[in-house]
Amino acid sequence: MREVIQHHSVDLSWTKDLSVQLNGYLDGNFICIPEELQSGTCYAIKVNEYISVYVKEVTYNTSFVFRYRNKTSDFVTLHYDFTEGNAAIIFNEELKSVGRWAYNEAMVDSCMDIDYEVKEGSKVFSITIFILKDEIKRQLSFLPQFDEVLGALFDPEENTFIRFSRGSNKSWWIADELRNADQQDPLYETLLKGIVYSLLSEYMDGILNQETLIQKVTKEDLVGIIESQSFLISELRRPFPGIKELSTRACMSETKYKILFKKITGNTANSFFLENKLFHAREMLETGLHSISEIADHFSFTTASHFTDQFKGLYNVSPKDYLNHI
């Protein structure tokens, strides 16, 4: 497995360093990498003086681990990853799968050290947006709900920007429009800038309707929450374990655990557990091999009616009607 130590920045100075590490070169906005390492395209541009974007659509012909060690902490990264294959973010040897069918949307503070592992044969389509914190602060200053928390939100001693989640359906369609575009088209750069603004708008619409949680997050905290997510997913056939057990396993107080879980995932532990139950129940339903009652029993819903109510609450359609439309 090939190791690359990489940094990012809004000014795109990192693109030269990356091309050199991979025995490649820059050709305008393209980062050209030898075919024996990867096939496809890597494309980076400045959107404006505060924002830049990096689009990667490649097939890896060798396995990599990228170790991101940024040299500045003045920006945040908004990352969309639609990998089809084997890719994961690594924290202290704890892996969190990413890609089209896993958690594919992340906002990460540039102060966080993160490792990304991708295996040979994986097909990667990703959009990575870099935004200066000062610009985010400027934009939020126009919103009255942030008046009292703006200072703490951008104080690195009090808060860390970090969240891993599944992107919205709208985000997927926005990204897919770019995927179908021709990078050689003279209007591609204009389209890309529009896509960036659309993704930022969709992301901000989502978080503005959620509680603002101010909390400094250490790498150990992040590992604890990711391990907790992994544990919850391993327990989907059982009832919800309860916050007391989960916080004890994560070596946190119940209060800290609840705050960090929601800050990092955008969801409560209970909702995360239920949504994953229903996600896997939907997959089981799609096979056509199991009745609604069998699926309800498999995932420890109290009754088939309870499962139906929860399924409809998340997907806006009953299991029966969903099955009739696939």
Distances (CA, A) of 160 to 189, 208, 286: 32, 17, 39
pLDDT at 92: 58
Token reading at 201:
């708008």
Token reading at 132:
């200066």
Residue with token string 């959009």: 127
pLDDT at 97: 63
d(CA 83, CA 102): 9
State the average pLDDT over residues 266-281. 92
pLDDT at 89: 73
Q: Are 301 and 312 in contact (CB under 8 A)?
A: no
Give 123-160 pLDDT, tens digit per residue. Answer: 999 999 999 999 999 999 998 888 889 999 999 999 99
Q: Are 43 and 37 in contact (CB under 8 A)?
A: no
Which has more pLDDT, 8 or 116? Answer: 8
- What is the separation of C-alpha 193 from the centre of its chain, rounded to a whole number of angstroms? 20
Tell me the average pLDDT of the chain: 90
- What is the separation of C-alpha 294 from the centre of its chain, rounded to a whole number of angstroms? 32
CA distance from start to end of the chain: 40
pLDDT at 95: 57
pLDDT at 5: 94
From the list 154, 163, 51, 179, the residue with the least C-alpha distance to 104 is 163
Q: Is the pLDDT of residue 12 over 60?
A: yes
d(CA 227, CA 101): 19
For the chain, domains (ranges, CATH) are 2-132+164-208 (2.60.120.10), 218-326 (1.10.10.60)
Question: For the ranges 92-96, 165-169, 294-298, 311-315, which has the lowest average pLDDT?
Answer: 92-96
Which has more pLDDT, 233 or 189? Answer: 189
Q: Is the pLDDT of residue 175 over 60?
A: yes
Q: Report H helices in the chain.
A: 14-21, 133-140, 150-153, 169-179, 188-208, 219-234, 243-249, 254-265, 269-286, 292-298, 304-315, 319-324
Give 70-100 pLDDT, tens digit per residue. Answer: 999 999 999 998 888 777 776 656 555 665 5
d(CA 30, CA 56): 10
How many other CB atoms are there within 10 angstroms of residue 209's CB atom? Answer: 7
pLDDT at 76: 97
Q: Which amino acid is at 192?
A: L
pLDDT at 91: 62
Q: Is the pLDDT of residue 171 over 60?
A: yes
State the average pLDDT over residues 246-273. 93
pLDDT at 168: 82
From the list 219, 225, 233, 218, the residue with the least C-alpha distance to 261 is 225
Residue with token string 């990078």: 183
DSSP strand pairing (114-118 vs 64-68):
antiparallel
Give 21-65 pLDDT, tens digit per residue. Answer: 999 999 999 999 999 999 999 999 999 999 999 999 999 999 999
Residue with token string 């395209």: 41
State the average pLDDT over residues 168-174. 89
pLDDT at 148: 87
Burial of 7 (C-beta count, 10 Å sphere; 0-12/13-18/19+): middle
